[in-house]
């Protein structure tokens, strides 16, 4: 009830940046959702519509002593999968590889353990069977070594026959896709990102592996500020016998159980052994190349990349993607129930459906992150969206703020396109 009151009575102008008057309601909703927590972190929202930027706003704290700024980078977890997938599609357009050639043609060492028939299509659509990070490595810190993880992928065994099932490659996706791209082009992933994505779109911040001189731009999670009452309670507890509390399950954990899925598949895909000794937000974690989990972006970079996709692969008179490639990437690959994700995802080639609170974007696609960040496009509306933040939250299905902001973005666009906003 407290959160509901915070939203109802929130300041609707607690943000800075650009807002087109047609999307003013969206900016006010963004402010409502952030206002009560701006001392605990910050957030940014960017939207492009009909080829133009219409929203680029931000609020809150980047660190304990710094406010969020126009160029602040945010670690976006799996939202980065959509960025890596987009790079893969660009390289398909450039002729370096295709979706259905066996990966071993580019990466011969990958063919071990029954993987000789695996293709880029299998990987991008989460049909490879290579999702089990928990049993691939013994320590989470191994993820920081790019070359080591490529060798781990070479030696991995699929958990099911390739192409027969769907299981979200929560962490392995980055090494699988990134490895194929490097082997096919004979160039490092960081170079490929700069040459084929960042430079053509003039992105203002997009990294897999944040350079040392850019670390200061990254918004890291703030320690929770305790009230005087909480501090007093903490002091009181410190002199009481320690009683181990039962783990309080998150909504996403309950959802997995209710969906009838095997919780072990979720654990195997999402949580490597030894995570207590590794942090994506440490300098080591930020500088490592872990594309499925530690991509650092501005909201504007994400929304601009998806604006290109919303325009079917063309941006500022540049054909970034060939028409046949755009057609391929936007097609649903499987409606089969995913072993890891508890809700229907409608996997495309590296993207999933747009998640909202009612409005539908049938031709839309994008990717969310475990912390509730997310970015997507809707070619039918020529619309793109990105939301980033640094709050200490986590949910496999996304934060309600992401769903609500996506809903209002679609409503504002429909007010222009259809003359009415509507809820569905």
Length of the chain: 424
β-strands 365-368, 16-19 pairing: unpaired
Domain CATH number, residue 407: 3.40.710.10
Domain presence at residue 360: yes
Domain presence at residue 258: no
What is d(CA 376, CA 379) in angstroms, rounded to the nearest whole number? 10
How would residue 223 be classed by pLDDT, with cut points 50, 70 and 90? Answer: confident
- Taking residues 371-390, what's their average pLDDT? 97
Instruction: Show Cβ contacts of residue 129 under 8 Å, excluding neighbours closer than 6 positions.
Output: 158, 159, 160, 161, 162, 165, 167
Backbone angles phi, psi at 326, to 5 degrees: -60, -40
Domain presence at residue 319: yes
Domain presence at residue 46: no
Model pLDDT for residues 301-360, shown as the tens digit of each residue? 999 999 999 999 999 999 999 999 999 999 999 998 999 998 999 999 999 999 999 999
Domain that holds residue 290: 73-212+274-418
pLDDT at residue 36 tops 50: yes
Quote the number of domains for the chain: 1
Question: What is this structure's pTM?
Answer: 0.93
Model pLDDT for residues 129-185, shown as the tens digit of each residue? 999 999 999 999 999 999 999 999 999 999 999 999 999 999 999 999 999 999 999
Query: What Cα–Cα distance (Å) separates residue 119 from each residue in 105, 125, 127, 165?
Result: 10, 10, 10, 14
How would residue 233 be classed by pLDDT, with cut points 50, 70 and 90? Answer: very low
Domain presence at residue 30: no
Domain presence at residue 10: no
Alpha helices by DSSP H, 248-342: 251-258, 263-270, 283-287, 299-310, 323-329
């Amino acid at each position: 009830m407290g959160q509901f009151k915070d939203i109802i009575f929130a300041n609707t102008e607690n943000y800075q940046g650009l807002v087109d008057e047609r999307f003013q309601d969206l900016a006010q909703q963004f402010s409502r959702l952030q206002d009560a927590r701006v001392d605990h972190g910050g957030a940014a929202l960017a939207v492009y519509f009909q080829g133009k930027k219409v929203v680029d706003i931000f609020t809150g704290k980047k660190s304990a002593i710094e406010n969020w700024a126009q160029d602040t980078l945010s670690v976006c977890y799996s939202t980065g999968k959509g960025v890596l997938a987009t790079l893969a599609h660009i390289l398909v357009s450039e002729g370096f590889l295709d979706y259905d050639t066996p990966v071993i043609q580019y990466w011969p060492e990958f063919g071990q353990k029954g993987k000789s028939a695996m293709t880029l299509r299998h990987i991008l659509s989460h049909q490879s069977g290579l999702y089990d990070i928990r049993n691939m490595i013994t320590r989470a810190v191994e993820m920081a070594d790019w070359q080591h993880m490529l060798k781990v992928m070479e030696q991995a065994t699929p958990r099911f026959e390739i192409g027969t099932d769907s299981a979200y490659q929560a962490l392995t996706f980055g090494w699988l896709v990134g490895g194929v791209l490097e082997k096919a082009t004979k160039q490092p992933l960081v170079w490929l990102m700069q040459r084929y994505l960042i430079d053509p779109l003039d992105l203002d911040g997009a990294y897999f592996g944040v350079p040392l001189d850019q670390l200061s731009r990254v918004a890291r999670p703030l320690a929770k500020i305790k009230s005087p009452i909480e501090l007093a309670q903490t002091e009181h507890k410190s002199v009481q016998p320690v009683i181990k509390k039962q783990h309080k399950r998150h909504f996403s954990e309950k959802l997995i159980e209710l969906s009838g899925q095997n919780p072990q598949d979720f654990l195997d895909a999402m949580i490597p052994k030894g995570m207590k000794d590794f942090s994506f937000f440490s300098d080591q974690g930020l500088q490592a190349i872990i594309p499925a989990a530690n991509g650092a972006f501005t909201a504007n970079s994400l929304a601009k990349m998806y604006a290109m996709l919303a325009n079917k692969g063309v941006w500022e008179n540049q054909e970034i993607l060939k028409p046949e490639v755009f057609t391929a990437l936007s097609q649903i690959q499987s409606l089969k129930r995913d072993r890891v994700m508890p809700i229907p995802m409608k996997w495309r080639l590296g993207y999933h459906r747009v998640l909202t609170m009612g409005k539908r974007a049938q031709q839309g696609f994008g990717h969310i992150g475990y912390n509730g960040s997310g970015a997507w496009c809707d070619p039918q509306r020529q619309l793109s969206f990105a939301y980033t933040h640094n709050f200490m939250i986590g949910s496999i299905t996304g934060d309600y703020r992401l769903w609500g902001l996506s809903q209002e973005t679609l409503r504002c666009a429909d007010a222009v396109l259809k003359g009415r906003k509507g809820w569905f």
